[in-house]
Amino acid sequence: MTETLKMIEADGSAPSFNGALDDKALVYCYRTMLMVRAFDDICMKLQRSGRIGFSIPNKGVEATQVGAASALRSTDFFFPSYRDFGMALHHGAEPVEMMHNMFGNASDSARGRQMPVHFSFTKPLRFFSISSPIGTHLPQAVGAAFASQAQGKDDVSLASFGDGGTSSTGFHSALNMAGVWKAPVIFLCQNNGWAISLPSSGQTASDGYAIKAKAYGMPGVTVDGNDLLAVNRAVSEAAERARAGEGPTLIEAFTYRMGGHSTSDDPTKYVPAEELEKWAKKDPVLRMQRFLAQRGLWDEALEETLQAECAAEVAAAAKEAQATPGPTLETIFSDVYETLPNHLRRQGEQAFDLAARKGDADAGGGAFPL
């Protein structure tokens, strides 16, 4: 196994920090981590009270998400896993836009066609739709990177996935293609300890995941995923290689999911209590807090202000999203074809007629076809 990159010590000191992020950026990164926690907390309450159907906890992995996002441009291509809320938030996605997706309402960019947590944005960043099937987005990230390369642009793709994703066929195909083409893509494996209930010891016989890079002709890097500065540095260096035409990098970030796989999961059934307790002491938010305090950028007053701001913003987002009506019937047929095929036109007319007679759905108040 390669040496694990680490920058922030347990006491918050970071002797090797090179100032890659200025003070304003550091505080912004910390605020984004708190925003992820606030979003998580409210989504859990919404799900448990029956107002949304599903959510994915992010507690414990925020430094990997935000550290990676802080090393990239908003114009780069993000192909996220479903546990990457912080990447979108860091580059300007509004909590209310994300909350619209959680409710699947009429303002949801997917018009309710996706599960909750399946965010996608074209502005203010290029954040491709999260996909539930494991590993399918990795070849897509390579394709986007290869297209950018072919057009002479210096955009890079970030493909983020969990340790379980390394067992997918998409992982092999993507790394193989990226290595052959020297595509400007960064593969970020968030080794958070569990692929739902399967530990890493049951996932691979390799000495970690970064070592797999060697077989595909690219560098493999291991990084402390609870150390935002270390993740920023690892991704920054990988992006620099990619933009210079030197090809892809596989990064393995060691972190820990301090909650269930999803709101449908009970981690107490398989996570040893002592293991969770050990990782709780390595909480990435507390670690970043200690680092900021060492630099004179954090105090209790700032913490109280940031916590209150994040909680209020997410609460307001949830309130607005809950009050937004659901998608109308016409959205089944919109945003699919430029010119609607005749067989779908007939189905649409039948659906609108049924809705008008039975009152089972809102037809949208417009004549069909759109």
Q: Which CATH number goes with the domain that contains 316?
A: 3.40.50.970
Please tell me whether residues 202 and 58 are part of one structural domain: yes
Q: How far apart are CA 116 and CA 105, in angstroms?
A: 10
The answer on 36 and 133 residing in a single domain is yes
**Catalytic entry in 31, 83, 257, 287:** 257
Full-prediction pTM beyond 0.85? yes
**Average pLDDT score over the chain:** 93
Which one of the listed residues 48, 270, 337, 346 is annotated catalytic? 270
Per-residue model confidence (pLDDT) at position 91: 98
252 in Cβ contact with 220 (< 8 Å): yes
- Do 311 and 336 lie in one domain? The reply is no
- Tens of pLDDT, residues 15-59: 999 999 999 999 999 999 999 999 999 999 999 999 999 999 999
For the stretch 144-165, pLDDT in tens is 999 999 999 999 999 999 999 9
Between the CA of residue 246 and those of 185, 269, 346, what are the distances in Å?
10, 45, 53
314 and 360, same domain (yes or no)? no
Pair (220, 334) in one structural domain: no
Judge contact between 32 and 91, C-beta under 8 A: no
* Residue at token pair 């995923």: 225
Say whether both 149 and 81 belong to one domain: yes
Active-site option among 261, 287, 290, 345? 261
Which candidate, 137, 98, 142, places its Cα nearest to that of 119?
A: 98
The residues with which 126 forms a beta bridge, in sequence order, are 77
Q: Do 344 and 317 share a structural domain?
A: no
Note whether 153 and 227 are same-domain residues: yes
270 is catalytic: yes
100 part of the active site: no
In the three-class reduction of DSSP (H, G, I as helix; E, B as strand; rest coil), residue 265 is classed as coil
Report which DSSP code applies to 325: P
* 257 annotated active-site: yes
Q: Which H or E element spans position 174?
A: helix 169-181
Q: By residue range, what is the domain housing residue 235?
A: 4-323
Domain count, the chain: 2
